[in-house]
Amino acid sequence: MNKKVAGMALCVTMCAVLFAGCGKKKTVEKTEKVDYDKAVTLGDYKTISLKTADIDKELQSQIDQLLEQNKTYETVKKGVVADGDTVNIYYVGKVDGKEFDGGSLTKDTNPSGYDLTIGSNTFIDGFEKALIGKKIGGTYDVDVTFPSDYSLNTDLAGKPAVFTVTINSKQGKENIPKFDDAFVKEKVSGYDSAEEYKAAMRKDVVQGLAWDKVMDASKINEYPKQFVEDNKTRLESAMNTYLSQNGATLEDYMKSQNLTQESYDAQKEQTAKDAAGEEVVYNAIAQKEKIEVSKDEYQKQIKDVMTSNNIDSEDTLNKNFKSYYGFDAKTIVMKDMLRQKVEEYLAGNVVES
């Protein structure tokens, strides 16, 4: 029913969710010898000056984002729907008097209902506008016509449909939680107090700002071809899995993001190149400072990943990683861990002023 495919940012950072069974993807196995002294001119990373005010500002911004993500709304069960309201609905869609696959969301199938913001253009044209002025608590028939180029289900393209919509409620006043011990205990695993979690967040902020400063001060002279190609593979594999999971095509995604094939390819190329540049920097620092990931550190991390994702064998883990990233778990995890160790090293060189 949704007109748009939800957007997925092109990224190459390690994902917490592993997808399986989406077909074979291209895998690059060769290694390229990189001369890091030539590939990058590193900025000063031995002494990294950061302003305490900048650290605290970024920390507060992240706390505010966390609270915003966990805000709640008063539930309003009277009145009428206005443009801009977020309403909770159930709906049953029919074409020629018969329900069709994917066209219904009911109390039986999804008790929590669907939250729809009126004016978001999430649903097909005419659906949201038809709810404006309708009473909350009422049930209404909404007449719409699927677009002629509706690609999510070509059998519905251009056909008239009727959606029987029940408006359960709408969102009222928002309630932003307080950043206190109770909030942290409920929402954040592994921490017992706001002070403890804030200290951990501040450490991450310092680490991130230190990394950004070193990256900004460094000049990439060469982008190793294999690094760029490997990152393209990761992007393509992740995108293919995402599209498969959502029953969509690349054309659907590009249309939803207002991208042409040319602009999509350029975006992918630039994202892969940027990631390759970051790889060059952290590898160069690791080489100079003899920073390595030990076998024991790797094995512990692999066990943690398997546990957190309910995976009982390394073979299954590798299958999932290859499906999603185009590479096995060791390739991805080792890179991730090395970068983390380099960032921790840089954070230790920070001088606050």
pLDDT tens digits along 205-248: 999 999 999 999 999 999 999 999 999 999 999 999 888 887 78
Furthest CA-CA distance within the chain: 71
Average pLDDT over residues 170-174: 96
For the chain, the average pLDDT equals 90
Q: How many CB atoms are closer than 10 A to CB 343?
A: 19
The single residue listed with the structure tokens 């695993």 is 189
Model confidence band, residue 27 (pLDDT cutoffs 50, 70, 90): very low
Average pLDDT over residues 323-344: 94
Contact call for residues 176 and 99 (beta carbons, < 8 A): no
Q: What's at 341, amino acid-wise?
A: K
pLDDT tens digits along 47-64: 999 999 999 999 999 999
Q: Which helix (H) or strand (E) holds 228?
A: helix 225-245
Beta strands in the chain (DSSP E): 40-41, 48-50, 72-76, 86-95, 98-105, 114-117, 139-145, 160-175, 219-220, 350-352
Q: Quote the pTM value.
A: 0.77
Q: Distance between terminal CA atoms of the chain?
A: 54
Q: Name which of 196, 194, 198 is nearest 184 in CA terms.
A: 194
pLDDT tens digits along 105-154: 999 999 999 999 999 988 999 999 999 999 999 999 999 999 988 877 88
Q: Can you give the pLDDT at residue 1?
A: 52
Model confidence band, residue 15 (pLDDT cutoffs 50, 70, 90): very low
